[in-house]
A = this chain, B = another copy of it.
Amino acid sequence: MAGSTFGTLFRVTTFGESHGAALGAVIDGCPAGLQLVEEDIQAYLDRRKPGQSQFTTARKEGDRCRILSGVFEGRTEGTPIAVVVENTDQRSKDYSAIQNLYRPGHADFGYDMKYGFRDYRGGGRSSGRETIGRVIGGAVAAKVLSEFKIRAEAWTESVGPFAVPEEKLAPETLDIRECRKNPLWMPDQETAAKAESYLCEVKNGLDSCGGIVGCRICGVPAGLGEPVFDKLDALLSQAVMSLGAVKGIEFGSGFKAALLRGSEDNDSFCAAAGDSGARLRCPLPIEKTSNHAGGVLGGLSDGSEIRFRAAVKATPSIARKQRTVDRNGRDTEIEIRGRHDPVIMPRAAVVIECMADLVILDLLLRNTAARMEFLRKIYG
């Protein structure tokens, strides 16, 4: 089975190559009766579209979306929602020089090995443009989730060595609107300023650099996730790791948990102190004394804020000359032209947010069949 469909009940099937006619997605399983217009989706696409700053590719794509089906009189019908974005600014000839070479750090080699040949124009299906379909799906998922006061938010947490200080990321301090104030989508202007200078230097050195994207999901009711293989953190990991540039993911304390003792790492439950924002989303009036778990216990949401971090590698397309081989396995060198972002995080953040939305909504829908009580509420 090919892998272009994500989700079980809220299913998104994406399609499209970087330099093909169009990209898009078909969403099957969106509940009927949701208010939905193209602008809901466009707002998300605009966040990921190219050409927004000196740190994003100069390719000019309006990335205007068009809904082809599934919406009638402004409401979802329960039928599949097909959404298309036409490609308009392909410059395929930029790529003819590399059609027989394997770009280091890219999927070129893998595609040739898998399929016997590949669409070498702009990376074909392995291009970052592929994520348009994910954002379409995520935007619709986010609209559904907003009705239940659930919201995912992602940000650039570090660029190379420049990381937002931990205290700025505390649940009660973090303000995602700060991200709009700098081109790196960082929630702290001071760190952003340093990271920008660093990035200019990197770019001038014909290089690129990696970083970390942070994400939180607020308002998730306790008990989402499907033991034992489709746990909440397992599916979020699949979702986020399926992005080409992501090389690692961790929840809550993550890799630091490897250094902790049980007595340090266990979060204690306690009765909720008044109406604090820390109260778990569940029928009991309780909260946790800490959140090392990142909101997921045994693969189920625990009603607190879900937190994870994704390690993003440097853009593999760099202008420097690099060593590689050609399709016959002969040594050669490659110089990559084309238009590329020196850093992936600012545009990846919205995509990661969208993948989180897809996972949470799908599990919310799957959970409706978990108990006899739920069935009685509907069919009783």
Contacts and interface: CB of A to CB of B under 8 A. Distances in A.
A228 B257 CA distance: 30
A312 to B, nearest CB: 6
Nearest to A149: B379
B211 A113 contact: no
Given A13-B13, A212-B255, 19 more contacts: A15-B70, A17-B79, A20-B68, A32-B115, A105-B297, A110-B222, A110-B225, A113-B282, A114-B222, A114-B300, A148-B375, A210-B258, A229-B239, A229-B242, A247-B251, A248-B248, A250-B250, A265-B314, A269-B325
A140 interface: no
Interface stretch (A55-63, A170-178, A189-197, A284-292): A284-292
Contacts of A300: 107, 110-111, 113-114
A154 to B, nearest CB: 15
A116 B371 contact: yes
A185 to B, nearest CB: 15
B2 A28 contact: yes
A147 interface: yes
A79 B33 CA distance: 32
Contact of A28 (B4, B21, B267): B4
A380 to B, nearest CB: 8
Contact of A261 (B2, B17, B209): B209
Interface residues of A, number: 170
A23 B69 contact: yes
B373 A116 contact: yes
Interface string A333-345: 0000000000000
Interface string A302-333: 11000000011111111010111100111100
A271 interface: yes
Count of identical protomers in the assembly: 4
A250 B241 CA distance: 9
A227 B126 contact: yes
A312 B242 CA distance: 22
Interface string A95-112: 000000010111101111
A21 B84 CA distance: 11
28 contacts: A1-B29, A2-B11, A2-B78, A3-B226, A6-B229, A15-B82, A17-B69, A72-B117, A72-B124, A78-B111, A105-B265, A105-B297, A107-B300, A110-B302, A113-B222, A114-B300, A207-B262, A210-B265, A229-B239, A248-B248, A248-B257, A257-B312, A262-B314, A263-B318, A266-B316, A268-B324, A365-B369, A368-B375
Contacts of A32: 114-117, 370-372
Contacts of A265: 105, 210, 313-314, 316
A203 to B, nearest CB: 11
Given A2-B29, A111-B298, A249-B237, A270 B314 contact: no
